Structure 1
Amino acid sequence: MSLSRIVMRLARNPGTEFAGGDDHRGYALTAPLTDDGHLDEAAFSKAKDNCTVRRFAPDEDPIDGRLSRRGQRWFFDYDEDDAADDEPVHRLGAHRFAVGEYVTVTDEDGRPLTYKVVEVQPTG
């Protein structure tokens, strides 16, 4: 089982202050992927301690967390003891992580924002 580094950058989000997108705002995550680019649920259960996420933006320090799952719901978790900081990812288990694909993440203010996958690389 191998892990992949996935980088997503904020895509155009009309109707928000990010209408034109922002290449300096996004997420870098480490997760196991199947051959077709989907999250590998079986491998995740064995490697979840190594499945991380880093949220980055030019106006804040990077925030490190974990890729987590409860039932069928995937989310980014930045504090195990506080469920209020979880960022749900819309249908993350159904997304294909390949360059050019789009993923919707609900930010800390409850807004769904679209991110574009710009990099997928094996970690080792």
Structure 2
Amino acid sequence: MAMPDGFKRITLHLARSREFPQGSARHGYEIVAPLDAENHLDVDVWRKHREACRVRRFWAGERTELGHLVHRAGGMGGSTWVFDYDAAAGDDDEAGFRLGDHVWVPGEYVSIRDDEGEMHTFRVVTVEDVG
């Protein structure tokens, strides 16, 4: 099945931190999501194609997690984007910090709060068309 127009595969790698002074390509995410003409997450297209909006978390030494990119009411600005790895669970596993405000282009940075409440910063490495 072909993906709708505007869907991108976005790769994030852990940015520099105290634990990883050079950052880490072994810690990150691969997200499949719709972007609008300004390279922001497109909530209208997301609503029409929720099942296609996926996330893969890869973390050295841990099992790879597969889930969905989900848009929820609440949070700063009235809504937030989260990574949900278990639809049956009542809580979301990881929440992005103002992901809807970010421009998704290589070199930009985004922050994601993990399931333990710790905030990590990631660098956008690639943004590619999904075909």
Unaligned 5+ residue runs, structure 2?
Answer: 74-78
Which residue of structure 2 aligns with residue 63 of structure 1?
65
Q: Does 1:9 align with 2:13?
A: yes
Which residue of structure 1 aligns with residue 83 of structure 2?
76
Unaligned 5+ residue runs, structure 1?
Answer: none
Which residue of structure 1 aligns with residue 96 of structure 2?
89
Which residue of structure 2 aligns with residue 104 of structure 1?
111
Cα RMSD after superposing both structures: 1.2
Which residue of structure 2 aligns with residue 46 of structure 1?
48
Which residue of structure 1 aligns with residue 76 of structure 2?
none
Would you say the 8 A contact 2:11–2:30 is kept in 1?
Answer: yes
User: Match of 1:12, as an amino acid?
Assistant: R
| Deviation >3 Å, runs of 4+ | none
Q: What do residues 17-51 of structure 1 show as CA deviations (whole Å, max 9, x unaligned)? A: 23432111100000000111100111110111100
Would you say the 8 A contact 2:82–2:92 is kept in 1?
Answer: no
User: Match of 1:31, as an amino acid?
Assistant: A
Q: Pick one of 22, 40, 58 that aligns with 1:20.
A: 22
**SS at 1:83's partner residue?**
coil
CA separation in 1, counterparts of 2:12 and 2:113? 14
What is the aligned residue count? 122
Would you say the 8 A contact 2:55–2:67 is kept in 1?
Answer: yes
